[in-house]
């Protein structure tokens, strides 16, 4: 389990992180989001003991860096941003080197290397030089070095950065398979990927934790209104008039027009459940109701809502949820 | 310490796989061979003159002062130029490539990282220095018999001064991620410690003593002549230890709270 308690980190006058608190339970897979300069990499570097916090405490399975830095590092596998590797080494010699540094006994070294090679599907390139391999393979090697020694926690900084779509899918699949046996914290700019991979997200902005929770939770907290999309067929102008008069409807926006079919975004009061009323009104008026479905926010919407200037107000509202 | 050896071996392996290291080796052996040949030729000429001209002032002419000491001094100047080229990669390159961050994420202490780098570089320096002992074995073939003890003392001195160069070079490398800057500043600082003794004669006696004590050449000279003085050995060990400690502090800065 990762426990971050009131952690701040300053570099001179620059406050990279400010009073950040969160917990990640054993076996969870959590996404760390934030715009550039939000403090994501600093947070990851603190968790791997590369940096020390200016104040606050980080506990990895109850162990702090000050108490046992080596033990703490031994429990964390880290894939840094840009995946730095020794390009002049072969994959096998690099993994053997990492195994030595992680203190894997010589008798178990070969087996451990083969195990991670199988997991990451790099068995076919073990004798090749890392610098000559494709970015996808290099990313797998980065993951393999993080997995060596079977650390309980994996910290992955932009694991799919710079990969082509095929490679992204492969790496995503690999991370998901690892989630069964590891606690994973990953940062990514690809928000759909985070939504697909992670159970929970932490959103950092200007060094502060501005939101945390599942995407559905965040959406629920941020949405001030109830939105759904209806698809109609019939006389538009009359249909619009009918809909506007349904009690609880606040706004009606035409989204798409496809011949006789129109898609409207209906905004209603948050607490009111008016879908049934809207449907009845439409049918009673003789229109064809082709579809009625709730409008879901994607992670980009949530992220932007929090991060943009509009989100500044929400930040204040959400601070009570974050802590 | 097993982890430090793994780091040392990786650095050695990395250099042995790089073409530039072989270029460096070729240059070093070429120039050191020339130094040996010129020292031997000069000594032969002086010996010949002494043998043919009994009035010539050749008192104290021997293989130690005529060949070994100047050869090792020349070799140390060559190392002064070349060690910063070796050390510039130790931290600067790893910082630039980001692999140092990876190294710090493993359960390895900063001390082990510094010692690993130092041992690796020292082993590489041995690749340069140890083969030059062959020159003296070849000298034996043509009748130049060097005392084994003097040779050992001279080479111990050379290894000690090399370890000092490495420690200072590593310290500079730990301060920057630009290899050229690291090599440039490393060379400049080594040169400063090389020539600092030269101004001792023009300074006040107290200051002159300080300059002399700080000078690498002053401490190295006696070792090249087979004199193993504990003060000289102690100086090189302290010099190396100081800069290794400075390197350790330099890489630990990242974990300071403020």
What pLDDT, on a 0 to 100 scale, did the predictor assign at position B59?
64
| pLDDT score of B207 more than 50 | yes
Maximum distance among all alpha carbons in chain A? 80
| pLDDT score of B12 more than 90 | yes
Q: ipTM of this model? A: 0.85
Q: What are phi and psi of A157, to 5 degrees?
A: -95, 110
For residue A90, the cross-strand partners are A129
Higher pLDDT, A191 or A93: A93
Whether B254 and A50 lie within 8 Å, measured CB to CB: yes
Confidence bin at A90 (pLDDT 50/70/90): very high
Report the pLDDT averaged over residues A134-153.
90
Whether A49 and B105 lie within 8 Å, measured CB to CB: yes
Whether A84 and B102 lie within 8 Å, measured CB to CB: yes
* CB B164 within 8 Å of CB B216: yes
- Nearest C-alpha neighbor of B56 from the set B64, B47, B65: B47
* CB A297 within 8 Å of CB A194: no
Report the pLDDT averaged over residues B244-249.
96
Burial A231-270 (b: 16+ CB within 10 A, else e): bbebeeeebeebbeebebbeebeeeeeeeeebbbebbbee
* CB A321 within 8 Å of CB A211: yes
Residues of B in contact with A82 (CB under 8 A): 98
Whether A49 and B104 lie within 8 Å, measured CB to CB: yes
Interface test with A, best of B7, B14, B102 (most A CBs within 10 A): B102
Minimum mean pLDDT range among A63-72, A82-91, B187-196, B202-211: A63-72
**Residue tagged 């002032």 (tokens):** B57
Minimum mean pLDDT range among A219-233, B133-147, B170-184: A219-233
**Partner residue opposite B106 with nearest CB, options A84, A89, A98:** A98
Task: Kindly tell me the burial class for residue B27, based on how many C-beta atoms sit within 10 Å of its own C-beta (0-12, 13-18, 19 or more).
Answer: middle
Report the pLDDT averaged over residues A234-241.
68
In a 13 Å sphere around the CA of A321, the CA atoms on its Cβ side amount to 18
Indicate the SS3 state at residue B213.
Answer: helix
Interface of A with B in 156-195 (CB under 8 A): none
* CB A152 within 8 Å of CB A26: yes
What pLDDT, on a 0 to 100 scale, did the predictor assign at position B58?
63
Interface test with A, best of B5, B89, B107 (most A CBs within 10 A): B107
Residue A297 DSSP class: P
| pLDDT score of A310 more than 60 | no
| pLDDT score of B122 more than 70 | yes
Q: Average model confidence (pLDDT) for chain A? A: 82
Residue A129 DSSP class: B
**Partner residue opposite B105 with nearest CB, options A71, A78, A86:** A78
Question: Which of A195-209, A215-229, A254-268, B124-138 shows the highest mean pLDDT?
Answer: B124-138
Host H or E run for residue A309: helix A309-322
Condensed to tens digits (0 to 9), the pLDDT of residues B32-65 reads: 999 999 988 888 888 888 778 777 666 667 778 8
Confidence bin at B9 (pLDDT 50/70/90): very high
How far B253 CA sits from the closest chain A CA (Å)? 9
How far B117 CA sits from the closest chain A CA (Å)? 14
d(CA A151, CA A155): 10
Domain ranges of chain B: 2-257
CA-CA distances (angstroms) from residue A90 to A143, A171, B4, B17, B82? 16, 21, 20, 11, 28
For residue B63, give every residue at least 6 positions away whose Cβ sits within 8 Å of its Cβ, in sequence order, or none: B43, B144, B145, B146
Whether B257 and A48 lie within 8 Å, measured CB to CB: no
| A279 touches B at CB < 8 Å | no
* CB B67 within 8 Å of CB B144: yes
Residues of chain B whose beta carbon is less than 8 angstroms from a beta carbon of chain A are: 2-3, 6-7, 10, 13-14, 17-18, 97-99, 101-109, 254-258
Confidence bin at A6 (pLDDT 50/70/90): very high
Whether B101 and A84 lie within 8 Å, measured CB to CB: yes
| pLDDT score of A78 more than 70 | yes
Indicate the SS3 state at residue A270.
Answer: coil
d(CA A192, CA A252): 28
Whether B18 and A88 lie within 8 Å, measured CB to CB: yes
Report the pLDDT averaged over residues A17-27.
89
Q: What percentage of chain B has pLDDT greater than the value 90?
A: 52
Question: Which of A243-247, A308-312, B154-158, B235-239 shows the highest mean pLDDT?
Answer: B235-239
d(CA B66, CA B61): 7
Higher pLDDT, A170 or A134: A134
d(CA B88, CA B81): 12
Confidence bin at A299 (pLDDT 50/70/90): low
Task: Kindly tell me the burial class for residue A155, based on how many C-beta atoms sit within 10 Å of its own C-beta (0-12, 13-18, 19 or more).
Answer: buried
Whether A101 and B7 lie within 8 Å, measured CB to CB: yes
Between CA A42 and CA A49, with CA A44 as vertex, the angle to 5 degrees is: 95
What pLDDT, on a 0 to 100 scale, did the predictor assign at position A69?
74
CA-CA distances (angstroms) from residue A166 to A23, A82, A96, A163, A303? 33, 18, 29, 8, 25
- Nearest C-alpha neighbor of B135 from the set B118, B155, B117: B155
Whether A84 and B99 lie within 8 Å, measured CB to CB: yes
What pTM does this model have?
0.81
| pLDDT score of B185 more than 80 | yes
What pLDDT, on a 0 to 100 scale, did the predictor assign at position B172?
95
Q: What percentage of chain A has pLDDT greater than the value 90?
A: 21
What pLDDT, on a 0 to 100 scale, did the predictor assign at position A253?
82
| pLDDT score of A112 more than 90 | yes
Host H or E run for residue A203: strand A200-205
Provide the angle, in degrees to the nearest 10, between the axes of the packed helices A165-178 and A106-120: 130
| pLDDT score of A72 more than 90 | no
In a 13 Å sphere around the CA of B7, the CA atoms on its Cβ side amount to 31
């Amino acid at each position: 389990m990762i426990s971050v308690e009131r952690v701040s980190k300053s570099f001179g006058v620059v406050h990279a992180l400010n009073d950040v608190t969160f917990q990640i339970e054993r076996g969870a897979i959590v996404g760390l989001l934030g715009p550039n300069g939000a403090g994501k990499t600093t947070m990851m570097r603190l968790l791997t003991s590369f940096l020390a916090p200016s104040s606050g405490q980080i506990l990895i399975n109850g162990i702090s860096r000050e108490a046992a830095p080596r033990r703490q590092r031994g429990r964390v596998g880290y894939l840094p941003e840009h995946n730095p590797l020794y390009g002049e080494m072969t994959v096998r010699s690099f993994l053997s080197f990492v195994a030595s540094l992680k203190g894997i006994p010589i008798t178990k070294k070969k087996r451990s290397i083969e195990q991670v090679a199988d997991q990451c599907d790099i068995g076919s390139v073990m004798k090749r030089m890392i610098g000559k391999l494709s970015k996808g393979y290099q990313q797998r090697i980065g993951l393999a070095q993080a997995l060596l020694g079977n650390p309980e926690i994996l910290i992955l900084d932009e694991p799919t950065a710079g990969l082509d779509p095929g490679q992204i899918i492969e790496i995503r699949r690999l991370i998901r398979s690892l989630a069964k046996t590891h606690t994973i914290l990953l940062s990514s700019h690809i928000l759909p990927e985070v939504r697909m991979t992670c159970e929970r997200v932490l959103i950092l902005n200007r060094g502060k934790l501005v939101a945390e929770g599942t995407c559905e939770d965040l959406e629920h907290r941020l949405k001030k209104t109830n939105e759904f999309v209806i698809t109609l067929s019939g006389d538009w102008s009359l249909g619009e008039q009918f809909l506007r008069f349904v009690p609880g409807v606040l706004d009606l926006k035409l989204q798409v027009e496809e011949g006789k079919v129109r898609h409207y975004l209906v905004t209603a009061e948050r607490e009111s459940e008016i879908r049934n009323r809207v449907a009845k009104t439409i049918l009673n008026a003789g229109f064809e109701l082709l579809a009625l479905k709730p409008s879901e926010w994607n992670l980009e919407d949530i992220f932007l809502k929090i991060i943009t200037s509009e989100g500044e107000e929400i930040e204040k509202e959400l601070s009570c949820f974050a802590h | 310490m097993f982890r430090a050896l793994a780091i040392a071996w990786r650095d050695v392996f990395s250099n042995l796989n790089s073409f530039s290291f072989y270029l460096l080796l070729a240059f070093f052996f070429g120039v050191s061979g020339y130094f040996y040949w010129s020292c031997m030729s000069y000594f032969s000429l002086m010996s010949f003159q002494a043998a043919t001209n009994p009035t010539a002032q050749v008192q104290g002419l021997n293989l130690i002062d005529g060949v070994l000491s100047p050869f090792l001094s020349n070799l140390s100047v060559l190392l002064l130029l070349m060690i910063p080229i070796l050390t510039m990669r130790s931290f600067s390159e790893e910082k630039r490539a980001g692999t140092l961050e990876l190294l710090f994420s493993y359960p390895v202490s900063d001390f082990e990282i510094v010692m690993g780098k130092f041992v690796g570089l020292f082993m590489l320096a041995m690749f340069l220095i140890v083969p030059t002992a062959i020159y003296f074995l070849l000298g034996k073939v043509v009748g130049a018999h060097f005392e084994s003890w003097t040779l050992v003392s001279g080479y111990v001195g050379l290894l000690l001064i090399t370890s000092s160069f490495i420690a200072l070079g590593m310290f500079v490398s730990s301060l920057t991620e630009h290899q050229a800057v690291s090599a440039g500043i490393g060379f400049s600082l080594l040169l400063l410690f090389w020539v600092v003794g030269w101004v001792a004669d023009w300074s006040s006696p107290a200051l002159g003593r300080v300059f002399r004590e700080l000078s690498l050449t002053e401490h190295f000279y006696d070792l090249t002549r087979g004199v193993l003085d504990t003060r000289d050995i102690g100086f090189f060990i302290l010099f190396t230890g100081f800069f290794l400690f400075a390197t350790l502090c330099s890489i630990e800065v990242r974990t300071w709270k403020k």
